Amino acid sequence: MKETKKTAKRTKMAAVSMALAAMMAGQTVVVMAGESDSNVLYTFPLTDGIEIEASTMDFNRDKTQYIDQVYEERTNVKIDWNISPVADWSTTLNLRLNSGELPDLMLINKSLTNQFAEEGYFVDFAEYLDQMPNLSAWIEKIPAIYNDTVDGDGHLYCLTTFNTRGQVPRQSIYRKDIWEKEGLEAPTTIDELYDQLVQLKEKYPDSVPVVNRWGASNLIGQLAVLYNTKYDFYLDSDTNTYEYGPATEKFKSAIQTLQKFYEAGLIDPEFATISDDQFVERITSGKALFMFSEYLCCMNTENQGDWNGNGRVNNPDFDLEPLTPLATEYGSGKIEVQSPTARGGYAIAINADSEYVDQLVALVDYQLSDEMIDLVNWGIEGETYDIEDGKKTWMIDNDKKKELGLDARSGMWIPIDQDCSDSSLSEIDIENTMAANAKVSDFAFYDAKKTLSFTAEEQDTISEIMTPVKTYVDEEVMNFITGKKNMEEDWDAFEEKISDMNYEEVLSMYRDKYEKLPEDQKGFDDQLGF
């Protein structure tokens, strides 16, 4: 393993040793913040300012708004941003990782840090926990921040992003006005939906009945979860052990359904490549009739998209409504419930060879302070928000929020204040959210309580086996959906191929790792976010 100039100088702290010992014993790690900030590496604004390069995705905004400027002033950190479109982010990041030319600070995901950890690219936050009081306090409140990114050797090469409470479940969304106009009852099963969409496609030939965003994997994942499986390794509620989704009958049924819908012209033919703007245009123009899984807040809230409001510009009857997930042959339909964390899907990492490692560690911790969370979520007290009876209230409208950049994405993904996010919702979206939360246990597909951690050697094995498997599965699943492959004639060969590629070895690793967990860490995260 490469030893960097920074990591070579550091020794493990007592708090870290205790944390790692607890981790190895299978306990949930809780690191207490110190009684004062006297042990922090730097305070802000820095006395001596620094200039760094940072990479992230655009999320439909650049980094030039007023709040971005205030962020730099409060930190005395000048940031040269390398911003990629959401669709290109993973490719761009991979190219930089393979070249070894990394920015100082980067948005990444846990799988990539695992893959490149042996190169010595990343700072190990585990070595700094006793000097990061804000992070430690958040870990105490939400242990998943640690558990979702720590690897099997106790390293924290990245920190998962999170919000302060959690996120509501998504739901299916349908054009209620169209269903009512045509005298149709809201569908309750996947078969009812198919039959109804066939009818509606005939009456509305220019429609795109089913739309999705974020690529083919998102749509496949939505259908997989609806059938109580996943497009990857997952903890199965029926077997109480880990399964590999593409090798299950449930997944086959999900792909059969997608093929059936695609063949009937019910799925957007550009479902694999559609941009966010194209997705929204299909909705607000009235072409889209159904979404398998979407965020409820987008339907009526202006700063989230206001699909209903924009749809009613040309059609006053336009009415999108949430729908309970559709039942399948495997029982009531499921939709994923998101935890407060991104589970390492979006994570922060520091280049171990940066000349500003200590400053950046301190900066990441400072981002987790109440002061900075308030700044990038709410803005400036007395200018953008006020406090009445201990509760923050807005002094500006949504257009002004957008203009100033108040969306929690200044800096390197500061946590989203859920109270702030909820404050922007329309009354009807709040009602929908509360209704969804009230019945979430009826249709939630919960993740495992603890993200499994693998050693560097185990990660190498997983990567060696699963990289070609994933490539093959992605290609073949698309072939099945689009009808290039026949489900009845070719699926057995598909399963035999992935078996020959030895996915079972990795599945056994997941199952063995899960079985060794203490009983209190087994099961599902059925309390997160609510």
CB 143 within 8 A of CB 150: no
Is 1 within a domain? no
Residues 26 and 104 occupy one common structural domain: yes
Cα separation, 453 vs 458, whole angstroms: 9
Residues 460 and 381 occupy one common structural domain: no
- CATH code at 411? 3.40.190.10
The pLDDT value recorded for residue 26 is: 42
Domain boundary among 371, 395, 428: 428
CB 415 within 8 A of CB 421: no
Residues 238 and 301 occupy one common structural domain: yes
- Enumerate residue ranges in the chain where pLDDT < 70: 1-38, 166-169, 303, 338, 527-530
Residues 311 and 453 occupy one common structural domain: yes
Domain boundary among 397, 428, 459: 428
Is 45 within a domain? yes
> Which residues, at least 6 apart from 412, have a Cβ–Cβ distance to it below 8 Å?
54, 56, 105, 107, 348, 364, 367
The pLDDT value recorded for residue 332 is: 86
pLDDT digits (tens, 9 = 90+) for 182-194: 999 999 999 999 9
The pLDDT value recorded for residue 30 is: 38
The pLDDT value recorded for residue 135 is: 95
The pLDDT value recorded for residue 1 is: 45
Residues 194 and 321 occupy one common structural domain: yes
pTM for this one?
A: 0.72
The pLDDT value recorded for residue 167 is: 61
The pLDDT value recorded for residue 15 is: 44
Domain boundary among 428, 455, 476: 428
Residues 254 and 397 occupy one common structural domain: no
The pLDDT value recorded for residue 335 is: 82
Q: Which two tokens stand for residue 495?
A: 């399963």
The domain tally of the chain equals: 2
The pLDDT value recorded for residue 54 is: 96
Residues 306 and 227 occupy one common structural domain: yes
Q: Domain span at residue 48? A: 7-33+41-166+343-428
pLDDT digits (tens, 9 = 90+) for 137-173: 999 888 888 888 888 788 999 999 988 876 666 789 9
Strand partners, 385: 381, 394
